[in-house]
Structure 1
């Protein structure tokens, strides 16, 4: 006998916890503080006292801001919840709040990945394959061989143009260190026709079964996958087509009971209407060959249906040949029209991306001016009785009491107004396209909002700089951007760069770091899942702007603050100077022992604007042989390195010592003011010139391989396989610092694809000029060669120029690699 189940009384639900920032909690906390502050003087209070009512008004206003701050993120950022599409575009463009499909992305790496990318193209290619080429030891080269079925009827010129257009699709999405070995190979169709024996269900119509059956057969024979999963992609890569697999894929068609017989008969284009097959029926046949792929021939004449047998309910159905041929031809034309439309859409020029408008704040329609919380008090409490008077009443106010009351109201209202101003401008704080560094917004109250406020103000309350001077813009705005980057698992830490020489004042340097962080967040999707992408060398790219370079190059440039480009030697050529590493000829002991050297009377200011172009004084006339000494240029970046000395009524100016103890005499001047002026000019001009010369170039060795066909892929030199060279100036003050070089190596190891071997090349000014001339000549010839392919023009001369210039650039890179290894 089982024991009866116990009857349990359910527990009472737990009492709701009070909100720590709610009205009741804040009001009680404020009263506790008042009691604690008053001590023994506090005896009792009335909830209707003016002081308590004023306190409750303050608490109510605070809780209103607390509740507003707890609103949803879209509402706080001004996004429109009624238009999800626009809100999504705004959040992605302005705040890098991307949907999951844009965050969790990856680039095609394996052969199956590349095949999936091929079948995502429209129109879907038939018999498409991208195979990775390997060397004699079985190692991948980073080269791909693309093949797919060509058009049914096209001349050689049309075939070449199609192959070039297909190649450009790959160039637009290729990975770093990878390329096509040659133009895609277009396979010729090898036609096959169907021999069928079908059994239909009792209620099925012939036309309703044959139409989807022909479409399914064409798709299967053309090696088009039903989905992009691994099993389907492996199936369409097989070399042998088994009829049993084809029949199994057709049995799920509605209205079809069974397939008693299915054969594919091959025949040549010249015998497309012959009834006799050129090959005997078999259980399988090759799916594709070296230069051909199977293609289904649709019936066009009565003889094409001679081998078709259709049964239903045990009886053979007579085929209405004319109607059936018309149905199949209409279906085929409709299919061809859909492919042509896909091709036209793919070939159409890209529509420029429309930048979504800036979000509209949720409370933007409210009155622009702040309405004081004290105005919501009853008249009895809005102003003390002793302060109220009329024009016919003699005012008897104790001295200072009116000012004291105005001060109380100002202490209450101004913080609330500031809270409201920050919430209303929250979207601007996080907006990635807001180039302003401002992080704090003020709403200064005036006498129309708070009577008597003018008695307190010692400065003009309407002055826009009243609170802006207290705005730590770079630090506060930087924290907001750090939050956005943290959502993507990224951080842009400039801490390791703080001790590296810099070319700007501390304020300008902080603003430049903030701008780098903002630009980094704008491109965060490319810098994470897409950082393995290469650039399309058939179109204008990194030689025109740094923003058109590969994501890895742009990422490293922002992380290291090497922002110049694309021509790093441009300003040196304009100035006519070429700083070189020269043997030091000055006598530092003579300068040191010639008396006491003291700092200049005023500090030497660094440049305030990063974008201002450099302008050099006549260094040759001033400094002589030392004008092109790179060590002097680096030492001039430090303002404290300039020293002066009184000697025979003149002011002598020197520079140094640097890290190696070198000193340079900068001449004699009538007085210290003249020496200071000349030192400022030298310091600022050399700072700007070095800043405009600091950037980086990224070279993929594989793109420099010979294209004349002399070498087969299997014998490709190891120099071209999975190698990147990152070329940087080694002569500037920052790039010569070992701390920045160590940081550069670390950032490259973190961000570069694991299969690539990256090498940093720190070159002098002459080496950078030589490299850029070779690199630009090769890149322009490469683009001209690609354009000749796209325009179906003669390519022999263009290909020869590409090979010559690639060989010259490869020779230079090999020499620099040898120097780095020595």
Structure 2
């Protein structure tokens, strides 16, 4: 039967059985009415006012359903927050820093595709000799000439590379410049525990191809000569072609495959083609014949020979030539291509042929340039829609109800008007619910954004277009701002921090990450205030996820760096940034990117200062104070302590109490104070959760931190635990100071940090390594097994963290942190974790491992970038003497059933840590 004559009809059943179907909603509504009130309500016909109300509400719900089902780009588009700024672009989130050999080849060719035809990475090693008798190592075997050979073992330091480059450049000066650019590019993208030994130009293995070729009578012999020459060059030493984004899609690649690896400046490289462009190990005559025959205009090869250039006269033609390793075959000057048309020989104008060859190469270069355009996947641009626009359901009722825009006539009775108002008041309940849903929908773009800064998660809006609205609601509702209205209706329901944490968990889960264990441990350390801290950690993690994920295995750039880019710098390994993100180690704001990141800096003197208030006088007493980023004292102890540990414990208690107070509590409390002042009510000392605002005799204001458990015990010396001694002239000023203090502790304060040391960077220059102090120590016992030769350099790192901070001194959090670090270290790298040191101003003990380590590490890096090693022995000494510190524990009393086991040591069951 012909498809043309088939009868097409509109289906009768168009119900979608969801919020888009009016009939479905009406049917469900009547079912609910029947189940709840069938004994009072039996008439469900259309003339019944109750059914009319149901139908109007169903219509409003279908409007909401329609807007919910708008394209996601429409829901996320608005003028204030463009959709382009809400998402990472494909080039930001999909690529990674160079990891594989193919990745490195791509980024090195990308430096200058016209001058760098190709390049290859080759593994390289350095020999390391081990003296198992004396427990020494050296890069020079002659250092152990006095030791019997039976005690000398040999191993290799792995992780090095040599780069072979095929240059399309003859000028030696320009080649040298390109080599320097390759070295710089490698170090900018250096992998963890890997390094570069040298960059070499590929040696040429010259071959000669001599051929007599018959071509079509109408063919251009100079053009065919240029084409054959170009194709033979591509066969012998293939260059790399760039593709545009559209061309990659045409080749069948998906977006994730296209953007896999590093993002290039000049377009996209097909990894399969790159893999096939390895250095040739042999050249076959059959391949060359096939290439020549594929050139348009060639009819037959009358004669052809292939041989090494220096052996043409001796050996004649061969079928294939073996190319030595790390060399590329290339046509030498003895190669000749002769042409004939029929039986007549054809003379080739070499100048013209060279010009054609240059034009062909220029065409290829032009095609390469086009590949660098339009490399980004476009984010769908939606239509800006007012998804929160809402009109009262009263405007949809028939006019005879008298509640719409027309209303009732002037002649209507008072009773009739009163009934209309009653119906409006009844419908206002539904109006407000629906208006709130529409408002929620409009804020989806903010709630699901990684940059969300909305203070609440429940939203509503006023009903503004109901006729006679001002006669139904009170003045408080009418005059409320949007913020006040949200608080008035939803503040008792909206646990904003908890709900935002759930949203962030959803976004993080999309990247296959999780913060569940971290959040649990933070709850045990910070109590109720942990939710807000964890929320900030999650936000920072998401905002930085492009670098946290894409650079997770990268090393830092030490090559030719100024000191400013080695210390107090964001130039750190990718693993440090990832560990810091997962452990909530607070980073600093990078002015270049506007994001937070971990810095390599002194962490022994971060914000906290311990000091003796009466130096030189017995007994030794201790106090603490905290300075902000401008070095101003913003919080200090209120008493002297007999031990440093007691002082530190009290300091952390003060910080915990500050975290327990929210900005909202302070703002609301001061609104009351301002209102009282305006009404002539005298100020009284006011407690705001853990803050207390007081007035001095000179009518100036200050505040201190109190223990809320002792808030009413005014005579208890432990009631006030910290104070900001600065006096403020007005209540507005003290409010600002309190909010600034809160912001400082939640966004800036941190006494934590992380250092990561790649052992391969500690390998000395053998020509300058005078004695053993330039080498890392080894354990003689490791020499007993022939299968395991000591090698302190290959794929080994040390992770150094301060062991004295509030979180890092907690055994449970430390165990969690060690598990995270070990899981994140690449599987081929062995990591040693050290929890070390004391603060700079901590008086006892005087031997401060952390302080010495920071100083020696900085000196070592300064020398390393200048290719010196004066500071190497001292840094190796600092690194090898590091000892993990552990918090003081108490032996658990097994006979005391009520004793809290937290912080206790159980013999045989408590692990202090592992190396």
Contact 2:74–2:382 at 8 Å: present in 1 too? no
Structure 1 residues 567 and 217: alpha-carbon distance in aligned structure 2, compared to 1, 3 A threshold: closer
Q: Please name the residue that 1:603 is paired with.
A: none
Partner of 1:317: 345
SS at match of 1:623: coil
Match of 2:361 in 1: 335
Secondary structure of the residue aligned to 2:163 is strand
Kindly tell me: are residues 541 and 78 of structure 1, through their superposed partners in 2, closer, same or farther at Cα, counting changes over 3 Å? farther
| Helix, strand or coil at the partner of 2:346 | coil
Equivalent residue of 1:799, what SS?
coil
Specify the alignment match of 2:661 in structure 1. Answer: none
- Equivalent residue for 2:752, pick from 694, 704, 713: 694
1:464 is paired with a residue of what secondary structure? helix
C-alpha change, 1:277 and 1:461, in structure 2 (3 Å) is farther
Alpha carbons 2:74, 2:385 under 8 Å: kept: no
Match of 2:116 among 114, 125, 129: 125
Q: Does 1:170 align with 2:186?
A: yes
| Superposition pairs of residues 544-559 of structure 1, within 5 angstroms | 544=568, 546=570, 549-559=572-582
Distance 2:62 2:72 in 1: 18
| 1:299-353 per-position Cα deviation (integer Å, ceiling 9, x unaligned) | 7xxxx78x4322344x24311x43x42232352376379769989x99xxx99x9
Change (3 A) 1:414 1:687: closer
Rounded to whole Å, the distance in 2 between the matches of 1:192 and 1:210 is: 18
Q: Could you say what the CA RMSD is over the residues aligned between the two structures, in angstroms?
A: 5.0
**Shift in alpha-carbon separation, 1:818–1:569, aligned structure 2, 3 A:** closer
Indicate which of 406, 417, 439 corresponds to 2:435: 417
What is aligned with 1:428? 446
Determine helix, strand or coil for the equivalent of 1:753.
coil
Matches within 5 A, 1:370-381: 370-381=390-401
- The correspondence for 1:180, drawn from 174, 181, 196, is 196
Cα separation, partners in 2 of 1:28 and 1:435, compared to 1, 3 Å: same
How many equivalent residue pairs?
697
Pick from 466, 490, 497 the counterpart of residue 485 of structure 2: 466
Pair 1:515 & 2:515 matched: no
Report what 1:491 is aligned to: 514
Query: What's 1:778 paired with?
Result: 860
Q: Does the CA-based 8 Å contact 2:638-2:721 persist in structure 1?
A: no
Aligned twin of 2:505: 482
Cα offset for 1:144? 0.8
Given that residues 212 and 304 in structure 2 are in contact (C-alpha distance below 8 angstroms), is that contact kept between their aligned partners in structure 1? yes
1:266-281 matches, within 5 Å, as 266=309
2:298 is the counterpart of 1:256: yes
CA gap 1:262/1:577 in 2 versus in 1, 3 angstroms: farther
Alpha-carbon contact 2:508-2:542 (below 8 Å) kept: yes
- SS class of match (2:756): strand
Report the Cα offset of residue 165 of structure 1: 0.8
Per the alignment, do residues 624 and 231 of structure 1 end up closer, same or farther by CA in structure 2, a change over 3 Å counting? same
Aligned partners of 1:437 and 1:477 also within 8 Å: no
Q: Quick one: structure 1 residues 225 and 679, their matched pair in 2 at CA, closer, same or farther if it must change by over 3 Å?
A: closer
Match of 1:799 among 867, 872, 876: 867
Q: Contact 1:403–1:452 at 8 Å: present in 2 too?
A: no
Mapped to 2, the partners of 1:359 and 1:672 lie a distance apart of 65
Deviates more, 1:749-758 or 1:400-409: 400-409
Deviations 1:95-117 (CA, angstroms, capped at 9, x unpaired): 34x65x87666665555564566
Deviations 1:507-535 (A, max 9, x none): 5x433322322332234344445422333
| 1:595 matched residue in structure 2 | none
Structure 1 unaligned spans of 5+: 1-12, 81-86, 268-274, 580-584, 587-606, 641-669, 786-797
> Residue 610 of structure 1: CA displacement?
11
How far apart, CA to CA, are the structure 1 residues paired with 2:368 and 2:601?
43
Equivalent residues in 2 for 1:249-648, closer than 5 Å: 249-259=291-301, 260-263=303-306, 266=309, 283=319, 287=323, 294-296=329-331, 307-313=336-342, 315-319=343-347, 321-322=348-349, 324-332=350-358, 335=361, 362-364=384-386, 370-383=390-403, 388=408, 390=410, 395-396=414-415, 404-446=422-464, 451-452=469-470, 454-456=472-474, 460-462=479-481, 464-468=483-487, 469=491, 470-493=493-516, 494-502=518-526, 506-507=528-529, 509-528=530-549, 530-538=551-559, 543-544=567-568, 546=570, 549-564=572-587, 565-566=598-599, 569=602, 572=605, 576-577=609-610, 615=633, 622-623=640-641, 626=644, 633=651
1:222 paired with 2:237, answer yes
Return the match for 1:198 from 204, 208, 213. 213
C-alpha distance 573-397 of structure 1, shift in aligned 2 (>3 A):
closer
State the distance in 2 between where 1:251 and 1:34 align.
85
Report how far residue 66 of structure 1 moved. 1.2
Give yes or no for contact 1:778–1:806 (8 Å, CA) kept in 2: yes
The structure showing larger relative contact order (alpha-carbon pairs under 8 Å, at least 6 residues apart) is 1
CA distance in 2, matches of 1:556, 1:388: 69
Q: Which is richer in helix?
A: 1
Normalised TM-score (structure 2): 0.64
- Structure 1 length-normalised TM: 0.71
